[in-house]
Structure 1
Amino acid sequence: MVAIGTLIWVSLRPLLRLCICVACGFGITKAELFSAQAARGTGQLTLNITIPSLLFSKMVPAFTPENVSALGPLIIIAIIYTVLGIVFAWIIKQFFWVPHRFRYGFLMAGGWANYGDIPTSVVMSLTAAAPFGQPGQQDLAVAYIAAFILIFSLTLFPFGGYKLVAWDYEGPDVEDEERREMVRQKRRAVAKVFSQPSNLLKRRNTYQDSDSGNSIDVEKMPATKTRDEESADRSNIDVHDPDPDFEISEIPIHDSGVTSTAASITHVEGTLLPTTTHNPALSFTDSKHHHSRSKKSIDDIDIQDHHRSTSLQSHSTIPTKTKTKRTRWQHLFPHIKAFLLSLLSPPSLSILIALPIALITPLKALFVLIPNSPIPNAPDNEPPLAFIQDAASFIGAASVPLGLFNLGSALARLNIPRSQWGSLPMGAILSLAVAKTVIFPILGVLICQALTNAGFINREDPVLRFVCIFMSVLPTATTQVYITQVYSGTGEAGHVSSFLIPQYILMLIAMIILTAYSIHIIF
C-alpha cells in the first residue's frame, strides 16, 4: 500500500515536467521567437524522424514472444476508447448546438485523443521510478503506447477519420441561430415524448371493416394527402438541409492536394436488358382473329422475338459488363493506393518494422544484446547493428520535448477574442471537456478493471494495466488543429481552439487524480 502523500507526489511530478516543456513552447511563441513556419517545420521533424526513432528504439528491446500477447488488449482498448468518444460526442451534439463548420469535426474531437507526446512524457517519467522502476519497464511502457499510436494513425488516415473535418467545409454555410433552433426542436421533441407516457405506448385504434369484418389498425394505415397538402409539403422542402445527421452519404469529398487522397461516391450502373412492350397488333384476345392464325405463324413470331431479344442482349450486355468492371477498378484503385500509402507513414512503418525484429530472435540479436545470441558480436562486443539502435535512441530522446514545445506553441496560437465569448457554444464545449476528462476516466477504470478480472488484461503486468487506464484521460489531439487549417481554406481553426483549451486545463487535475488512483489499485 502506497501512502497518500507519496501517491500525490508521484502523480504530480511527471506533470510538472510536462508543464515546464509546454510553457517553454507557449512562451517563445508569445514572444514571437517561434513562428508558425518554424513550428510547422518542427512538427514535421517530430512526426517523420524523432517519433519513429523513439518507437523503434523502445519496441525492439521491449517486446518478446512472452509479452507480445499484450498487443491484443491494447488494440481492443484503443478501439473502445475511439468508438466511445465518437458516441459521447454524438450524444452531446443532440442536446447542445455546435457550429455548422464544426458539426463533423466535433465527432473527431471526441474520438481521437492525444496519444503522442503527453502520455509518452508522463508514462516514461512514472515508470522510471518507484513504485515501478523495474528494469525494462520504461521501454515496455513506450512500446505499449505505440499500440495506441498505431490505431490512431490507421483510423485517422488510412480509414478516413480525417474526412470528418473535410465534410465540415462542404456545402453552404448555416447561421449559428439556425443550428440553435434545430437543437431546440430536438429538445422539445424529446421532452414531449417523455413528458407524456401515453406517447411511449402506442394505442391501437381499430375499427371494424363493414364489408370483410376484419379489424384494421389505423396507425399502420398509410396516411393519405390531398394534392394541395402534397404541393405544400414539396414547397416546404429545403434543398440545403443543414441537418448534419443526414449529410455524410451525400457530400462528395474533394482532393486537398496536400495531405490526403480524395474519396468519391461511385455509382455503378447495372446492365439494362431490353424489355418487351405490349403490341396490340400481336394480341390474340379476339377469338376470330385467333383462329385465323396458324400455329406455324405463331411459332415464327416467337422464334423471331427470341432471336431479336437474344441479339439485343448479346450486343448490349457484354460491352456494358466490361465497361462496368473497368469503371469499378478505375474508382477503387485510387482508394487502394491511398490506403497503402497511408500505411507507409513513418510512425506506422516504424512500428511495423520494429515488431517483427523484436519477435524474431536472430533479427533481434542484430540490434540488442540477448541471452544465448545466435549472432556473433562485433569487435566491441556489441551486436553488429547496435549502432542503429543507438542512433534511434539518441534521436528518439528529442521526440517528447519537441512534441511538448509544439503543443505549447499550438495552445499559444489558439486565440478566442473576448467579444466572441458570448457567442460560443458553451454547452457543447463544457460537456465535451467534462466527458473527456471526468466521465471517460471513470469508464476507463471500470472497463480495464472488468477486463482484468475477466483475465483479458494480465493482472501481473502493472505497466500494461496502468497504460490502459491512463490513456482514457487524454484530451483531443492537437493534430485536428493542423487538419482543420488545411481544409478551412483560410488557414484558421477557430472552432477547434474553443473546444481544446478547457480540456487541457481540466486535464492537469484529472491526470493527478487518475494517476494516484491507478497506482493505488494496481499496487
Structure 2
Amino acid sequence: MSVDSSRPGVGDVIFTAFKPIAKMAAITLGGAVLSEATRANAGILINLLLPMLIFSAVTTSFDASNIKSVVALVVTGVLYMFMGLAFGFLVRWLTPVPKTWKWGVLITGACSNVGDLPIAFVLTIAKSAPFSGEQDSTRGIAYASIFMVVQTLAMFSLGGAQLLKRDFRPVEESPDPEKAAATSSKLKSTVTAIANRTRKTVGLVSRRAGGRRQPPASPAVMLTCAAGGTARTGTSHSSEEGYKTSANNTPNDGNSIVEADRDRDVISPASISAHSIGSRTGPAAKETSAIARPNCIKRVWSGYIVPVFAPPSLSLIVGLIVANIPPLKALFVKTDKFDMPSAPDDKPPLDFIMEICTFGGSAVPVIGMLLLGANLSRMSIKNLPRGFWKSTVMMSVLKLVVSPIVGMLWTKMVMNRTGLIDPEEKMLQFILILCAGVPTATLQVYLTNIYATEGSVETSALSAMLLAQYSTMLLTLTILVSYTLSNAL
C-alpha cells in the first residue's frame, strides 16, 4: 500500500498546529504581565498598523481572476455572524444569564476574533505543507482581513454596537397598586403624627414664654420646622439654590468621558480606541447632561457612513480597487497584465509604499496578542447568577466545537456546488474553516467598558465567557487545525 509522501504525518501535523498556539500564548502572557504598558496601543493598531497590513495584503493577493473569493468570504462571514447570533439566543433561552446582559450574550455569540488569531496562525502555518510559503501567507492575511472588515461593518454600521447598548438603558418598573396604596397610607400617617407633635411643641413653647399665641402653622411649615429647616416664601430662590448645589456637586472625575460616551447614540471605531484596555481617563465633561442628541441626518452619517470610511474599511476598499485595475496595481507590485516602467532600483515606482505598509503591518499580530493578554488580565468575575457556569460551558461548546463542524461542512458544500472556491486554493479553505472555530472578539470588551461600570454584572459575565473560551481554545484550535491540515484540505 503506497503512502502519500506529500502529506505530513499525524505527529508532524499536531506539532505544526500547536506551534502558533504556543507562540500566541507566550505573547499573550507578556501582554498580561505588562498590561499597563499596552494601554495606548489599541488606537495605534486600529487606525494605523491594521490599515497598512490590509492594504499591502489585499493589493498583492487579489486581481480580477480571483475576485470571486471575496464573495465567498463575505457570504461566509455573514453566515458565521448569524450562526453566532443564533448561539446567543440559545444560551439566553436555555441557561441562566443576567437580566441586564440579555443583549450582550448575543454579541458574544456573533462577534468572533477573526482578525488577530487567524493572522497569527497564517504567519506560521503558511511555511509548512500543504501551503506554498510567502505567497499563501500574504493571501491568508488578505482573506482574514476581509472577515475582519465584514464584522466591523456589521458592528458599527448595521447596529451591533447599538444592540449591546440596550443592556444599559434605564428600566422603568411598572408601579404596583397595592404597594403604592400601602406607601401612601404609611406616609399620610407619618405626616399626621409629625404635624400633631409639632403643634403640641409650638403650643408648649408659647405658654412657657408667656407670649401671644401665633396662629397654627400650616402642615408644610410644621414639617419644615420639624426637619430643622426654615420656611421660605416663593420658589425662585430655592430653585436657584438647588441649581447651584447640583452644579457644584457635579462629579469631576475620570469617569466623565465614559458618561459622555454612554449618552451617545452612535459608537464608532475611533471612539473605541479611547477606551482600550478598560481605560477610563479623560478630560472632565461638566456639561455631560447637556449633550444634544444628533438629528436624523447626523445620526445616519455617524452611524452608517463614517464606519465605512474608517481606516480598516477604507484600506480594504482602496486595496481592492487598486488590485483590480492593472495600471494602478503595476505602480505598487509587479504584474504580468501591465508593463510599467521600473524605478531606479528595478522595482515598481510606488514599491516604497508597499514596503512601508508591509513593515508597519508586520507588528499587528504581536500588538494584537499583547492587547488580548492585557484585556484578560484586567477581568474580574463576581455577582454572577447561580448556575452561570452552564452559560459559559454552552457558549464555549457552541462556538469552539459546533461552529467549526458547520464551517467544514459549509466550506465543502460551497467548493463542490459553486465556483466560488477553487479546490486548489488551500489557504482560502483553511481560513474559512479556521474562522468558524475562534472565540469571542475582545472588541466586545472595549464596547462594554464604554457603557458598564467597573466590576458590574455585565463585565463579570463577559469576563467569565472570554476566560472560558480562550482557555478551551488551546485544545480545540489544536484539534481543529490538525484535522484540517490532515483531512479537510
Q: Say whether the fold is shared (TM-score over 0.5).
A: yes
C-alpha deviations, 1:258-284, integer Å up to 9, x for none?
A: 499516xxxxxxxxxxxxxxxxxxxxx
In the alignment, residue 462 of structure 2 is paired with which amino acid? V
Choose which of 395, 401, 417 in structure 2 pairs with 1:454.
Answer: 417
Contact 1:261/1:338, CA 8 A, preserved across alignment: no
Q: Which residue of the other structure, out of 355, 363, 388, is the alignment partner of 2:320?
A: 355
What is residue 211 of structure 1 aligned with on the other side? none
Q: How many residues align?
A: 376
Conserved 8 A contact 1:165-1:487? no
| Aligned counterparts of 1:170 and 1:474: Cα–Cα separation in 2 | 30
Q: Tell whether the 8 Å contact from 2:396 to 2:469 is kept in structure 1 after alignment.
A: yes
Of 471, 478, 481, the residue aligned with 1:505 is 471
- What is the one-letter code of the residue matched to 2:129? A
Q: Which runs of 5+ in 1 are unaligned?
A: 30-34, 175-233, 237-254, 264-328
> Could you list the per-position Cα deviations for residues 199-242 of structure 1 after superposition, in whole angstroms to 9, with x for gaps in the alignment?
xxxxxxxxxxxxxxxxxxxxxxxxxxxxxxxxxxx979xxxxxx
CA contact (8 A) 1:124 1:138 kept: yes
What amino acid does structure 1 have at the position aligned with 2:158? F
Q: 2:20 aligns with which of 5, 11, 14?
A: 14
Unmatched tracts of structure 2, length 5 or more:
1-6, 179-257, 267-293
Q: Which amino acid aligns with 2:402?
A: I
2:236 is matched with which residue?
none
The change in CA–CA distance for 1:72 and 1:356 in structure 2 (over 3 A counts) is same
Equivalent AA in structure 1 for residue 371 of structure 2:
N
Other structure's SS at 2:160 match? coil
Partner residue in 1 for 2:353: 388
Check whether the contact 1:90–1:107 (CA below 8 A) recurs between aligned residues.
Answer: yes
Q: Report matched runs for 1:236-247 at 5 Å.
A: none
Task: Decide whether aligned partners of structure 1 residues 147 and 371 sit closer, same or farther in structure 2, where only a CA change above 3 A counts.
Answer: same
Q: Tell whether 2:48 aligns with 1:53.
A: no
What whole-Å deviation, never above 9, does each CA across 1:329-370 have from its counterpart, x for those lacking one? Answer: 952452244311111111111101111111111111111122
Q: 1:430 to 1:522 in 2, by over 3 A?
A: closer
Distance 1:261 1:481 in 2: 18
Q: 1:256 to 1:150 in 2, by over 3 A?
A: farther
Match of 2:439 among 475, 481, 484: 475
Deviation at 1:429, TM superposition (A): 1.4
Percent identical: 28
Match of 1:40 in 2: 39
Partner of 2:404: 441
In structure 1, how many angstroms separate the alpha carbons of the residues matched to 2:135 and 2:47?
26
SS at match of 2:441: coil
Q: Does residue 344 of structure 2 align to residue 338 of structure 1? A: no
Structure 2-normalised TM-score?
Answer: 0.72
- 1:127-166 superposed matches below 5 A: 127-166=126-165
Deviation per CA, 1:35-62: give whole Å up to 9, x if none: 2xx4331111111111111111111111
Aligned to 2:11: 5
C-alpha distance after superposition, 1:392-434 (max 9, x if no partner): 01111111101101101111111225xx578461111111111
Residue 487 (structure 2) pairs with residue 488 (structure 1): no
What is the CA-CA distance between 1:18 and the residue it aligns to?
Answer: 0.9
Aligned equivalents of 1:490, 1:514: Cα separation in 2: 35
2:126 and 2:134 in contact (8 A); partners too: no
Which residue, out of 455, 478, 481, partners 1:515? 481
Q: 1:459 to 1:261 in 2, by over 3 A?
A: farther
1:172-208 residue CA offsets vs partner (Å, 9 max, x unmatched): 399xxxxxxxxxxxxxxxxxxxxxxxxxxxxxxxxxx
Per the alignment, do residues 354 and 258 of structure 1 end up closer, same or farther by CA in structure 2, a change over 3 Å counting? Answer: farther
Name the TM-score, length of structure 1 as normaliser: 0.67
Match of 2:98 in 1: 99
Residues 367 and 383, structure 1, Cα contact 8 Å, conserved in 2:
yes
> Helix, strand or coil for the counterpart of 1:366?
helix
SS class of match (1:11): helix
Instruction: Please give the root-mean-square deviation of Cα atoms over the aligned residues, in Å.
Output: 2.7
Cα offset, 1:457, TM superposition: 2.6
Amino acid in structure 2 at the alignment position of 1:441: P
Per-residue deviation, 1:521: 2.6
Output the amino acid matched with 1:355: L
| AA in 2 matched with 1:403 | G
Distance 1:413 1:101 in 2: 21
